[in-house]
Every structure is written in structure tokens, then in C-alpha cells.
Chains A and B, each alone.
Chain A
Amino acid sequence: EDKVVQSPLSLVVHEGDTVTLNCSYEVTNFRSLLWYKQEKKAPTFLFMLTSSGIEKKSGRLSSILDKKELFSILNITATQTGDSAIYLCAVEAGQGGSEKLVFGKGTKLTVNP
């Protein structure tokens, strides 16, 4: 059975701290790994990773994938209160032509002023 595990499940930090969120997976027919940020509404897309070792960066956020060890990390530097959200990791398991995403439970990040 396809599985995505995120850690920690929750994290509380102070503004300015750097955080690392973890995602490990076991899926058949891996195609890509995606990170989303979920506040009160829709998950918003952050990154899509398909190749090992290539860092993707957007402002203070960055992510990297290790396909050998089957994990990814999401780094957020100089955190701000607006970074408070649930961060979801998902893996695209393309078995039988389906593009479905398998999600982890998410990491709830709280950034205090």
C-alpha cells in the first residue's frame, strides 16, 4: 500500500527561526513529489520534485528530493508569522495511468512573533 509519512506532525517556532520539515514515502511507480501549503482553505502549490539532488527554491522556501533514500525535506528560513500553516507532502503514484496524489497527514507549523 502506498504510504507517505511526514514529521514532525506539529512544530512551534519563533519568528526568524529556520525549520526543516520531513517527508518519507513508499509508493509504487513513483513519478513526482509535491509540497503544498494549506491555511484555512485550498492547499496551495509550492514545489514539484522529480529528480534527486536538485534543490528547488522560492524565496525563503527550498526543497530537495532523495529518490534513493525515499524522502524529501522542505526548508523555511527566517520564518514569519505568515508561514503558519499545515504543510502537506504528496507523492504522485502513476499506476495504471492514474495521476492520483497520495498525501501525508501534514506538518502543522506555528510561527510565534
Chain B
Amino acid sequence: GAGVSQSPRYKVAKRGQDVALRCDPISGHVSLFWYQQALGQGPEFLTYFQNEAQLDKSGLPSDRFFAERPEGSVSTLKIQRTQQEDSAVYLCASSLWAFYEQYFGPGTRLTVT
């Protein structure tokens, strides 16, 4: 595709529900990243994949957060038992290879009520 796409664009979940957020990177991009952006803040790193390998998950805030990229293309970020503090925009980015510029998707705005 022309750019990084994410779905859904908006998600409202009741506290305690599980959610799954999808990212389709730019075709051929090896590296994929997830970031969390709270209102009025810059994006904060969550996790990073190179192909299907998750090389860094140091930013995941708790074990309720899980990400996968099983075939080295599409990625899913799953949040179990959502809490109000999980409300944020979740951004996905991809880059062609290591240390190339990252291109961002439009984000998924998650609201936990």
C-alpha cells in the first residue's frame, strides 16, 4: 500500500475488555514499531519488530500488553483487561530497514470507559 494503515481508527472499550489493534506496514518494510501517545505528549515507544522477531519490548507498560507479527508483515497489539490509563492514541510505524526513517500510520484512538 501507499502508507502505513491501522484499524480500527477509533475504539471504545469498557474497562476490563480485551482489545486488538491492527497495523499494516508499508509493503517491504522490515522494521515495525508501536508507540503510545497520550494527549499533549509525544509518542512513547512500546515495542519493535524486525521481520517477525520482536527485538525490543522494553516499553510495554505491563504484561497486559502483547504484540505479535507472525509472518513479518501485519502486526497486532493486544491489550487485555483494559484500564482507563490505557486510553491513548496507539501509533504504528514502519521503516525499510534498520536505522532508516520511520513512517507512521494514522493511529488508533482507544478510549476506555
Contact = CB atoms under 8 A, between A and B. Distances in A.
Interface stretch (A13-21, A66-74, A93-101): A93-101
B56 A96 contact: yes
The size bracket of the interface on B is 20 to 34
B39 to A, nearest CB: 11
Given A100-B45, A101-B33, A105-B40, A42 B101 contact: no
Interface residues of A, number: 26
Contact of A45 (B35, B41, B45, B103): B103
B31 interface: yes
Contacts of B44: 103
Contacts of B72: none
A36 B104 contact: yes
Interface of A: 4, 31-32, 34, 36, 41-45, 48, 88, 90, 92, 94, 96-106
Given A41-B106, A45-B103, A90-B43, 5 more contacts: A31-B99, A34-B102, A88-B43, A99-B48, A101-B102
